[in-house]
A and B are shown apart, each in its own frame.
Chain A
């Protein structure tokens, strides 16, 4: 197998693994956060507005970890620096 196909294969497989494993943690975290917020709203419906605002900010914080993984996966697939390097080397 030449180096171009090795780099392509490694990038694609790593992108998939990165997204897959990276989504586990934020998914669990968001589930717990929503669960806590829902039970709080059920106990104190008057505080719904501030609870919802805090929930959204917290969810954005948790979600950003999954977004980092996604950005890295996108870079690996679409804007891989090693890919450009290897193609330049192979081309001459």
Chain B
């Protein structure tokens, strides 16, 4: 069951009801559904945590997820990984859940609408200077824009905007294109082949969620890492390569 027609490229165009100026479309409904699921699930699981030898299955699952995300962040950020964990972890879990639920009939991923992905990318756009300034101070942060010389200032600024656009369009394009491919395949070769593509869609959704989170982390890490630190890291000699 597809609620987005084949000639509509965004779930924004699927309107459930209108009440005065307020229009409730599919993107809003499913975004709130995912948010509610995340919040209720987290509260329900963390309500009875145990540090005994036995623990509930849900706690075990949550520990695996949280541990993996923290390890990945620590690999990129090198230091202070716990500062970024709430932000990056929330981004990852939200995008992952909204992508993975596409196998439910009647569901349409909120990330297949440009509005959702643009909102997420704008959040990252503002998070980068906030983290950078709180870590290094405003002077050190602004100085990064003028390295190596002041000529590079417009390019740095342009890079900030273009990578935000890329972040939004990449997630939107991947998820939307996948939904369109499935809709077209359903019309051409029903029954078997769309199922295989749905399975592939789970992989695409996972990879895109990972990429979005890791790119946000890389941007934040590049803003929080000062120039001196980078030079220091490069000086470290690596051992001889064993072949």
Contacts and interface: CB of A to CB of B under 8 A. Distances in A.
Contacts of B176: 71, 74
A70 B177 contact: yes
Contact of A60 (B7, B75, B170): B170
A67 B175 CA distance: 10
B221 to A, nearest CB: 12
A7 B56 CA distance: 61
Interface in A48-85: 49-50, 53, 56-57, 60-61, 63-64, 67-68, 70-71, 74-75, 78-79
A29 B8 CA distance: 31
A67 B169 contact: yes
Contacts of A67: 169-170, 173-174, 177
B38 interface: no
A78 B176 CA distance: 13
A53 B75 contact: yes
B7 A78 contact: yes
Given A56-B211, A57-B211, A64-B170, A74 B243 contact: no
Contacts of A43: 241, 243
A60 B173 contact: no
Interface string B138-163: 00000000000000000000000000
- B contacts with A: majority SS: helix
Nearest to B71: A49
Nearest to B5: A78
- A contacts with B: majority SS: helix
A70 B177 CA distance: 8
A50 B75 CA distance: 8
Interface in A21-50: 43-44, 49-50
B97 interface: no
Contacts of A57: 211, 214-215, 218
Interface string B179-215: 0100000000000000000000000000110110011
A63 B171 CA distance: 11
28 contacts: A43-B241, A43-B243, A44-B241, A49-B75, A50-B75, A56-B207, A56-B211, A56-B214, A57-B211, A57-B218, A60-B170, A60-B211, A61-B166, A63-B170, A64-B169, A64-B173, A67-B170, A67-B174, A67-B177, A68-B173, A70-B177, A71-B169, A71-B176, A74-B177, A74-B180, A75-B9, A78-B7, A78-B8
